[in-house]
Amino acid sequence: MNFSNKDRIAHLYHFDESGEFTHDGSMTIRAHMGLPAQSTEIALPKHNKALERCYFIDGAWVVTSLFIGRFYWDKKAQLHCIHSYPQELPESYSLIEPPEANKGFVVQLVDEKWCQIEDHRGQLIFDCNDCTQYEEVEKVGEIKEGFTLSEPSTLFDEWIDNQWVTNQSNKYIGDFNQVDETRRDLYSRVCDPLFAEARVKRMLGCEQEAIDIEGQALAAREQIQLDNPYPQFN
């Protein structure tokens, strides 16, 4: 640094510990004296004072819109604040505040523009080729091809013309088999032990007791049928 052998007036630009410009003004520099710490005679470049700041970095002024204290939003519309300069920023960000997300959507940054993205996370989607197959949505965006958010009303629905239509024939067969299975289970647990006991009584010569027990078994069988009627085909 060259020092003047005479007093001189210099216009100085001052900056803080972070290098950010703070103020400027003229002052007298005494002979054989250097500039005050954190100051320079290099003129401040033109900049938008409302949206930009100047930092003195490596002997030169840097004009930036990414200054300490400014807020920015990442691609998922999360708010952040710049705490130092320079500061590492995400690959995608915006200095423009994102809009409110519409119902059923989230706002995300796409090609430097805020976009409304479908958000079905936590909802179930159903396979259009098999209504019994479904999965929970984990990511934002359109649901995967071949699936629908529409929930089938039965296990026998088929996807026809963009809606679930119940296959009545398959439903009847399924309902019939379900009732038949229930009846058989109850017969084995309720009726069969009574019939077995009646056979033992008859073998022991206790005919009337055998008849009474058989009557209980037949009554139980009839009640099971009343409680579990076979479906009617529509």
pLDDT in tens, 62-85: 999 999 999 999 999 999 999 999
Q: What is the DSSP string of 2-56?
A: ---SS-EEEEEEEE-TT-BEEEEEEEEE-TT--PPTTEE-SPPPP--TTT-EEEE
pLDDT level of residue 3 (50, 70, 90 thresholds) = confident
Q: What is the average pLDDT value for the chain, to the nearest integer?
A: 95
| Average pLDDT score over residue span 102-119 | 96
Question: Which contacts qualify for 48-53: CB closer than 8 Å, 24 or more apart?
Answer: 53/20, 53/21, 53/85
Question: Which contacts qualify for 116-119: CB closer than 8 Å, 24 or more apart?
Answer: 117/141, 118/142, 118/143
| Average pLDDT score over residue span 126-148 | 97
What's the pLDDT at 1?
57
pLDDT of 190 above 60:
yes
Neighbours of 151 (CB within 10 A): 13
Report the percent of the chain where pLDDT is more than 90. 95
User: Is the distance from CB of 107 to CB of 113 less than 8 angstroms?
Assistant: no
Report the percent of the chain where pLDDT is more than 70. 99
What's the pLDDT at 2?
64
Element (H, E) at 154: none
State both tokens at 174. 């399924």
DSSP β-bridge partners for residue 157: 166
pLDDT level of residue 4 (50, 70, 90 thresholds) = confident
What's the pLDDT at 189?
96
CA 81/CA 214 separation, integer angstroms: 84
Alpha helix positions (H), 91-167: none
The model's pTM is 0.69
